[in-house]
Chains A and B, each alone.
Chain A
Amino acid sequence: MKRTLRPSFWPAAVFFVLAAAFGPLFDSFWLSLLTLVFFYAFMGLSWNLMMSAGLLSLGHALFLGLGAYAAAVLTASTGISPWLSIPAGAVIAALAGSAIAWIGGRFSVRGVQFAVLTIAFSELTRVLFDNWDLVGGTGGFFLKAINPDTNRPLVTLRGGPLYFYFAFLVITAAAYFVIQLLMTSRWGFRWRGINEDEDAARALGVPALRSKVLVVAISAGLAGLGGGLFGLMQGSLFPDSVMRLQLSIEILIAPIIGGIGSPFGSIVGAFFVVPLMEFSNTLSQRIGYYGLNTLIYGVVILGIIAFLPDGIWPRILRYMNLIRAA
């Protein structure tokens, strides 16, 4: 029966184990680059999950931002461990997602309108945070600097480049396997059914509202989790840096370019898109033309979407199948 469902876990497991094993061998440049890759892979996985039910989120930074602020503010103001405040942030993000999904489902806000609804809530929250003193408003929220000599990463959940590399690698791997499990469960079928034809699915007993709320809750919760860790890594939070529309757009480029059909596509997409961003940034600085990076990035994205409409990973899979057949 598994032959009709998603491919086996082992290649992915091998990939993650190798990534972990090679970690200590990278220098700090590669570590920060790959950490960013896994961050975007993780966010892409979370975004892609909602897409499986056909829900296009253009405001995903909202969940990231809520998670980031919740974790940072809770830990800084109450002193509780990040091991509690990050999950708390994830829960807050999940609740926000549930609310949006519920509103969308209950009032039949679909397609383009739903996507715009996500933008509306995201921007609304961003502007509110800009004016909220508790979180520092536009001035930002700053975490206390850590002392590299006395800091214990597993306590503060902060540390150096190698620590954050492993942190994001671990949550990406965990998210990947959790999502695979979900997609091969009854819920995965229901989400895909709703995406294909919601009315036909409902006629077969699929609870549309509940399914949508669930998938968005999980998707948002994951994003909140990633946001919490991201916030700890950045050390400082501004509504404009963690909740803005541009970030929401950056988050979804990797999974779409990689291929939205399978979770691994989000990871592949991140491995393509993040180095591309860094490369264009560096080139732009070297040549001295501000904006060249944006231009290059845009041209490459255009090229990919025009010539590889399903994304990079499906195309790679197709080549691998051809090679095997020959």
Chain B
Amino acid sequence: MATLYLNVIAGGILIGIVYALIALGLTIIFGVMRIVNFAHGEMVVIGMYVGYGLWSVTKIPPWMIAPAAALVLFVLGYALQRAIVNSFIDRPQHSQFILFISFALIITGLHLVFFGPDPRPIGMIESMQSYAIGPLHLDVVRSQAALMALAFVAALILFLQQSTFGRSIRAAADNLIGARVIGIRVHTVYSVTAGIGMGCAGAAGTLVAPIFDTQPFLATDFTLIAFIIVIVGGLGSLTGALLGGVLIGLSEALAALTISPALKTVFSYALLALVLVWRPNGLFGEQER
């Protein structure tokens, strides 16, 4: 019994790390631009199709394809931000919302047109295998995904802390007017940030492609999970996204085991509602009261 719990917890943490990568993308976009990317889940699914597509042609395992997906989504995010989203920064919230909804519809529409609605599983030998560490049995695919996700997270944090551009991003997030005053090209910062945010989503998508069968309608679930994590962790907080991701991955796994698989999302939503009421800025967000 204890072994079962242990394995479920481990599995939950592993998937949680990948969820954290998704959430990281969402939170970084919000932290810098105060924009909520309601098409984030659709970006993840693009990543899934990139993973699925390249895997079916080259048989390279998805965790190695992830950087390619990240690049594709980076370019897409940058282009979208530069072409359209930047002009929506000062628009009211509902306008921004509809903009992203239209992106979501277009992306899903394209997926359906090109790939159809049928789920596309990735059948690899590794899907059935697991690493045995004592009593623990860690899914090979999940472990690879989690490790790769951590690599992305580490790279991102390094970029933000050490590079000049990374510092520009943090400056713009902290103090927009100040950043402008010292000459930071804010719109370029925004475009790069959007690219990074969506790149995270795309990378994560490729990583989960072997775990969830790729299909267009998974997008909403990913968007919702990203939202739950980001709100619980704190809008704009990187630590919040990381810890929140693991927390949600863990709690969903445990809830599926102890309550029922059908009700596992209920637990996450209840947690979300609680955090919204108790600490609207998230567990790691700024404390206002």
Residues of A at the B interface (CB closer than 8 Å) are 51, 56, 58, 103, 107-113, 115-117, 119-121, 123-124, 127-128, 130-131, 245-246, 249, 252-253, 256-257, 260, 289-299, 301-302, 305-306, 309
Contact A108 B270 (CB under 8 A): no
Q: Is B227 part of the contact surface with A, judged by Cβ < 8 Å?
A: yes
Q: A111-B93, A131-B263, A306-B84 are in contact. Are A253 and B98 (CB under 8 A)?
A: yes
Q: Digit string of B80-119 for contact with A (CB within 8 Å is 1, else 0)? A: 0000100000010111011101111111111111001100
Q: A120-B272, A253-B98 are in contact. Are A109 and B112 (CB under 8 A)?
A: no
Contact B105 A294 (CB under 8 A): yes
Q: Please, how many residues of chain B have a CB less than 8 angstroms from a CB on the other chain?
A: 46
Tell me how far the C-beta of B81 lies from the nearest C-beta in chain A, rounded to whole angstroms: 14
User: Which A residue sits closest to B230, measured CB to CB?
Assistant: A116
Contact A298 B227 (CB under 8 A): no
Quick check: which of B140-148, B203-211, B273-281 contacts chain A, the rest being far away?
B273-281
Q: Is B132 part of the contact surface with A, judged by Cβ < 8 Å?
A: no
Cβ–Cβ < 8 Å partners of B98 in chain A:
253, 256-257, 301, 305
Cβ–Cβ < 8 Å partners of A112 in chain B:
30, 36, 93, 235
Chain B residues 208 to 243 lying within 8 A of chain A, measured CB to CB, are: 216, 220, 224, 227-228, 231, 235
Q: Is B158 part of the contact surface with A, judged by Cβ < 8 Å?
A: no
Q: A120-B269, A298-B105, A302-B102 are in contact. Are A127 and B95 (CB under 8 A)?
A: no
Contact B262 A292 (CB under 8 A): no
Contact A295 B102 (CB under 8 A): no
Query: A107: which of B104, B228, B269, B277 is its contact (CB, 8 Å)?
Result: B277
Contact A119 B227 (CB under 8 A): yes
Contact A109 B280 (CB under 8 A): yes
Cβ–Cβ < 8 Å partners of B7 in chain A:
none
Cβ–Cβ < 8 Å partners of A295 in chain B:
105-106, 109-110, 112-113
A305 and B104 CA atoms in complex are apart in Å by 14
User: Which A residue sits closest to B281, measured CB to CB?
Assistant: A113
Cβ–Cβ < 8 Å partners of A246 in chain B:
220
Cβ–Cβ < 8 Å partners of B106 in chain A:
294-295, 298-299, 302
Contact B224 A56 (CB under 8 A): no
Contact A245 B273 (CB under 8 A): no
- Tell me the number of A-to-B contacts counted with CB atoms below 8 Å: 132
A312 and B101 CA atoms in complex are apart in Å by 18
Q: A120-B272, A298-B102 are in contact. Are A291 and B224 (CB under 8 A)?
A: no
User: Which A residue sits closest to B99, measured CB to CB?
Assistant: A305
Q: A117-B276, A296-B109 are in contact. Are A123 and B102 (CB under 8 A)?
A: no
A302 and B85 CA atoms in complex are apart in Å by 11
A257 and B101 CA atoms in complex are apart in Å by 12
Contact B109 A298 (CB under 8 A): yes
Cβ–Cβ < 8 Å partners of B116 in chain A:
290-291
Contact A260 B269 (CB under 8 A): no
Cβ–Cβ < 8 Å partners of A131 in chain B:
260, 262-263
Q: A301-B98, A301-B105 are in contact. Are A113 and B113 (CB under 8 A)?
A: no
Q: A107-B277, A109-B277, A291-B117 are in contact. Are A127 and B111 (CB under 8 A)?
A: no
Query: A305: which of B102, B112, B113, B262 is its contact (CB, 8 Å)?
Result: B102
- Would you list 11 pairs from A and B whose C-beta atoms are within 8 A, ordered by A residue? A56-B94, A120-B276, A123-B224, A131-B263, A289-B112, A290-B113, A291-B112, A295-B105, A298-B102, A305-B98, A309-B95
Q: Is B157 part of the contact surface with A, judged by Cβ < 8 Å?
A: no
A252 and B102 CA atoms in complex are apart in Å by 12
Q: Is B154 part of the contact surface with A, judged by Cβ < 8 Å?
A: no
The 5 closest A-B pairs by CB, nearest first: A291-B112, A295-B109, A298-B105, A294-B109, A298-B106
A116 and B223 CA atoms in complex are apart in Å by 11
Query: A117: which of B117, B216, B260, B273 is its contact (CB, 8 Å)?
Result: B273
Cβ–Cβ < 8 Å partners of A115 in chain B:
93
Q: A120-B276, A291-B110 are in contact. Are A127 and B105 (CB under 8 A)?
A: no
A296 and B220 CA atoms in complex are apart in Å by 19
Cβ–Cβ < 8 Å partners of A296 in chain B:
109
Given contacts A107-B280, A249-B101, A295-B113, 17 further A-B contacts (CB under 8 A): A109-B277, A109-B280, A113-B276, A116-B231, A124-B266, A127-B269, A130-B262, A131-B263, A257-B98, A289-B112, A290-B117, A291-B216, A294-B106, A294-B112, A295-B105, A295-B106, A295-B112
User: Which A residue sits closest to B227, measured CB to CB?
Assistant: A116
Cβ–Cβ < 8 Å partners of A116 in chain B:
227, 231, 272, 276
A119 and B111 CA atoms in complex are apart in Å by 25
Q: Is B168 part of the contact surface with A, judged by Cβ < 8 Å?
A: no
